[in-house]
Amino acid sequence: MRSSSRSKAQTVVRHVGQTATAMACLMLAGCTLKASAPPATFDLRTPHVMTVTAPRPAKFQLVVDEPTSVRALGSSRILVKPSPQKITYYKSAAWSDRLPSLVQVRMIQAFQNAGLVKAVGSRSDRLDADLELATQLNAFQIEMADGATTAYVNLYVKAIDGQRGQMIKARGFERRVPVQGRGAPAMVAALDEAFDSTMREIVPWVSKLKR
């Protein structure tokens, strides 16, 4: 009798253990499915550079390199700084590509649309570059301070002679734009505006460098 009771007890314990394991697996699977849900994806708008007040078209070919950046800005995540020392990322939202790559493409398009240089492209376009643009992406983020939320973009641009490899000129460009509204769409709209403003300065500045 004791042997039979012990056997039944072991069977019950085994079934309970198997049930608990199965439940744990289901819970983990649910968490995994929830965590792997794709984030809302946002594109970076192509800056609209006005050509009405811009200088006359330059006669040189321009190559725009992919911007360099710290690791925090090198992914497709949208950077948010709740304090000067703390770095976080906006939950459930991302850029459509790695930020440096996305910025490079939009910079090239801004120059193309403005029509202020003879030709513009990336290294892969194999242009015989008269001028090369090397950009350092210092900031492209949302900052929170004193109850205000602000989009901050900071680009340090170096213009390099394409033939001699010597730097011609370098300059920093930055812009802060208040975020109007809440959530990722409002933050992206403010970052778009800040980037647009910097490019409105960068494009005419570059077109004057080498004529």
- The verdict on 31 and 101 lying in the same domain is no
Asked if 79 and 87 count as a contact pair (C-beta separation under 8 A), the reply is yes
Same domain, 149 and 56: yes
Among candidate residues 159, 156, 162, 157, the one with its CA nearest the CA of residue 123? 162
> Domain limits at 100?
40-207
Q: Are residues 124 and 183 in the same domain?
A: yes
pTM: 0.79
| 29, 96 contact by CB (below 8 A) | no
* 21 plus 48 within the same structural domain: no
Kind of pairing, strands 68-69 and 119-121? unpaired
> Residue 57's pLDDT is what?
72
Cα 133 to chain centroid, rounded: 19
Distance CA 194, CA 153 (A): 6
> To 10 degrees, the CA torsion angle through 16, 17, 19, 23?
130
- 33 and 47 housed in the same domain: no
Per the structure, the count of domains in the chain is 2
pLDDT in tens, 178-198: 999 989 999 999 999 999 999
The pLDDT tens digits for 31-64 are 444 456 678 999 999 998 865 455 567 788 999 9
Q: Check whether residue 23 and residue 92 sit in a common domain.
A: no
For the chain, the straight-line distance linking the first and the last C-alpha, in angstroms and rounded, comes to 103
**Rounded Cα gap, residues 51 and 116, in angstroms:** 8
Q: Looking at the structure, tell me whether residues 112 and 173 fall in a common domain.
A: yes
Say whether both 95 and 15 belong to one domain.
no
Do residues 7 and 72 both lie within one domain? Answer: no
Whether 94 and 118 map to the same domain: the answer is: yes
53 lies in the same domain as 26 = no
